[in-house]
Amino acid sequence: MAGDPQGPFWLHPDPDSPFPPVEHALRDPDGLLAIGGDLTPQRLLRAYRAGIFPWYSEGQPILWWSPDPRMVLLPGALHVSRSLCKTLRRQRFRLSMDQAFEEVITACAAPRRDDAGTWITDEMRIAYCRLHQRGHAHSVEAWQAGELVGGLYGVALGGVFFGESMFSRVSDASKVAFVHLVRQLERWGFGLVDCQVHTGHLARLGARPIPRTEFMQRLRAGLALPGRPGHWTFDDET
């Protein structure tokens, strides 16, 4: 079924109430499925398991999305350019996992040079910090001379990592963090990295758009895997 011509679905206040099927998402704006609700851990986890994520700006109600197509990266398809390979060999950064989640999401929320606003509201930051405390949200940090200079965060369920945002204060810091994450996820048997929507940055790293029907199939297969809840560290992290 195409998107509902009556508009997106208004969520019931009960955090255990179900989302509508993703097939009901609008085509314009692409993927808008539902409005309202809250960002409790149970609602967020229910959304990710259903192929849905929140994305809204300050002053808006919570908006829930499931775009078609969906941007994904299969870990084995990671593309590392020649110049990035050189950066990786130089080992300019120390990489870690889950050592500075709150600092990473705060840095991701900071305004970018070309945009004075942010979609990572205070409400979002608090919600994902709660998921992190429960072992479902994770960060990757890139350090240089003891300073946090880049990183990313996302949510993991089963064998799926749902990427949310990344930041860099030094050239290539977030790319290096992403490459280390994807290689670690592949070693752990993860089958899918959800990148949500197309960006040139992710496409150059090997991400590609797939139909939402294929995404949902891959999502269901990934959620059937045992996963790795709890605190994360790289296999070679010291």
User: What is the arrangement of strands in the sheet containing 94-97, beginning at the earlier edge strand?
Assistant: 94-97, 137-144, 147-157, 160-168, 192-196, 70-73, 208-210
With 90 as the cut, is the pLDDT of residue 211 above it? yes
Q: What is the pLDDT of residue 119?
A: 82
Give the pLDDT mean for 64-83.
Answer: 96
Length of the chain (residues):
238
With 90 as the cut, is the pLDDT of residue 8 above it? no
Percent share of the chain, pLDDT over 90: 87
Question: Could you read off the pLDDT of 18-69 as tens digits, one per residue?
Answer: 999 999 999 999 999 999 999 999 999 999 999 999 999 988 999 999 999 9
Confidence of residue 236 (pLDDT cuts 50, 70, 90): confident
First to last CA, the chain: 50
Percent share of the chain, pLDDT over 70: 94
Q: What is the pLDDT of residue 101?
A: 98
Pairing of strands 9-10, 32-35: parallel
Q: List, in order, residues 6 or more apart from 202 with CB less than 8 Å away.
A: 71, 73, 195
With 50 as the cut, is the pLDDT of residue 81 above it? yes
With 70 as the cut, is the pLDDT of residue 4 above it? no
Read off the DSSP letter of residue 184: H
CB burial readout 117-139, b (16+ within 10 A) else e: ebbbbeebbebbbebbeeebbbb
With 70 as the cut, is the pLDDT of residue 3 above it? no
Q: What is the pLDDT of residue 116?
A: 47
CATH of domain 71-223: 3.40.630.70
Q: List, in order, residues 6 or more apart from 153 with CB less than 8 Å away.
A: 101, 104, 105, 108, 128, 132, 137, 138, 139, 140, 164, 165, 166
In angstroms, the CA 179 to CA 167 distance is 14
Where is pLDDT greater, at 225 or 5? Answer: 225
With 80 as the cut, is the pLDDT of residue 238 above it? no
Q: Where are the domains of the chain?
A: 9-67, 71-223
CATH of domain 9-67: 3.30.70.3550
Confidence of residue 115 (pLDDT cuts 50, 70, 90): low
Neighbours of 172 (CB within 10 A): 20
Strand partners, 172: none
Q: Which amino acid, residue 198?
A: H
